[in-house]
A and B are shown apart, each in its own frame.
Chain A
Amino acid sequence: MVTVLERHSELRQRAWDAAASVVDPEIPVLTIADLGVLRDVVLDGDHVEVAITPTYSGCPAMNMIALEIEVALERAGFCRPKVRTVLSPAWTTDWMSEEGRRKLHAYGIAPPQASNSRRALFGEQAVACPQCSSADTELLSEFGSTSCKALWRCKTCREPFDYFKCH
């Protein structure tokens, strides 16, 4: 009995690790575990089902991520893995790991701020420049290179940068 349970948890961990290694195709320094997109890995016998949650309704990366998970699991020895999309609870940037925020910053993208202030419709946001850390920055566009990012500019080093929006 004990060995069966041990084998089960060991297999599940292997499946989780394989799924967790998949990276976001648009921000390749972040894994789906860093992003909080990977929600659950269920092992039933030798069959694996992975639950992921979309960041944005129309995020075009989701299809790609689902495919990559299947490939990663098959490579790890799991037959016909399934990927399920769950909408609830809705993804939030609060689920991004500390490690993820650190990697994002090192990559040159300002990480989402911890407190979620989107309800303050015209509220002041202060985003520090990921290049020179200056707080003297300005918003250029509410929507940047992807829906999850806004375009900002640093007034100190004059570099434009992406800001991963709170969600």
Chain B
Amino acid sequence: MPVANIQVSETPLVLYALRRADDALILGHRLSEWCGHAPMLEEDMALSNIALDLLGQARELYSYAAKVEGKDNDEDRFAYLRDVRQYRNLLLVEQPNGDFAQTLVRQFFYSAFADLYWRAMMTSRDAALAAIAAKSEKESAYHLRHASEWIIRLGDGTDESHARAQAAIDHLWAFTGEMFAVDEGERALIHADIAIDPGSLRGRWLTTLSGVISEATLELPQTGWMQQGGRSGRHSEHLGHLLSELQSMQRTFPGQTW
């Protein structure tokens, strides 16, 4: 049974699917950390349900990547037997839950993007990616609505919740630029009408954000500097800790099944 990290043939298309799958898996795992700890029962269930949707999306994308790669890898091996540097998720999604405001701002930034992204990907020339997108966009619409309502409630709530929501926005803002960056391999897929150019969504993403943020009496930062690295495997220290928990069972008992 393999204990070592798997080898992945990182062709542009495999990498493209893995990046989206990793976003969904890591964010889903972060949300699942709230299970049993959320401020109230309804929210506990909401966050767990969103986590479940994201896990489902990750599974579809990993299975697709495995099919494209055509080796021995499968969804489980991608999730459990890759090291930090082999993960290609956005730095945004691996950031710790922090307080409730931080979790919801992270979710809001991502869901506002994912909602536009999946809707655009429904027109991909790759039928499998288009089908995954059609499934995911319905879910992301609910995720966005849930997060938006919380941002308004927190921002337009008490002095304390307002201050925490604003602090979360200021803290996480530098991780949003990476959502719109593409490398050469991905650029080629965009030209082939397989991938989506995230840059083309930035204007609408900002419009979604501005509407909610202003209703919440909060403000978006003006600073332009953005942190990057996740897409090429250079992560913050937080991902290693997350993976050690997520992978502990397979690393300890390789090949173990229920």
Contacts and interface: CB of A to CB of B under 8 A. Distances in A.
Nearest to A59: B56
A119 interface: yes
A142 B46 contact: yes
A13 B218 CA distance: 60
A58 B46 contact: no
B141 A88 contact: no
Interface in B25-46: 42-43, 45-46
Nearest to A150: B142
A143 B46 CA distance: 5
A143 B56 contact: no
B134 A88 contact: yes
B52 A60 contact: yes
Contacts of B45: 141, 143-145
B131 A90 contact: yes
Contacts of B56: 54, 56-59
Contacts of B146: 142-143
A118 interface: yes
Most buried by B among A141, A151, A165: A141
Contacts of A140: 42
Interface string B128-151: 101110111011011011101100
A167 to B, nearest CB: 5
Contact of A89 (B57, B134, B148, B149): B134
B154 interface: no
Given A87-B60, A87-B134, A89-B134, A57 B139 contact: yes
Given A141-B42, A143-B49, A145-B45, A58 B142 contact: no
Interface in A54-71: 54, 56-60
A101 to B, nearest CB: 19
A89 to B, nearest CB: 7
Interface residues of A, number: 27
Nearest to A86: B131
Given A57-B59, A87-B132, A151-B42, A146 B148 contact: no
Nearest to B43: A141
A84 to B, nearest CB: 13
B170 interface: no
A87 B135 contact: yes
A57 B135 contact: yes
A59 B49 CA distance: 9
Contacts of B131: 87-88, 90
A147 interface: yes
Contact of B138 (A121, A141, A146, A167): A167
Contacts of A58: 51-57, 59
A90 B42 contact: no
Nearest to B40: A141
Given A87-B131, A146-B49, A167-B138, A57 B60 contact: yes
Nearest to A141: B42
B213 to A, nearest CB: 14
Contacts of B50: 143
A58 B69 CA distance: 23
Contacts of A146: 49
Nearest to B47: A143
27 contacts: A54-B56, A54-B135, A56-B52, A57-B56, A58-B54, A58-B55, A87-B128, A87-B132, A87-B134, A88-B130, A88-B131, A88-B134, A89-B134, A90-B131, A118-B141, A118-B145, A121-B148, A141-B43, A142-B46, A142-B142, A142-B145, A143-B42, A143-B45, A143-B146, A145-B45, A147-B139, A151-B42
Interface of A: 54, 56-60, 87-92, 118-119, 121-122, 140-147, 151, 165, 167
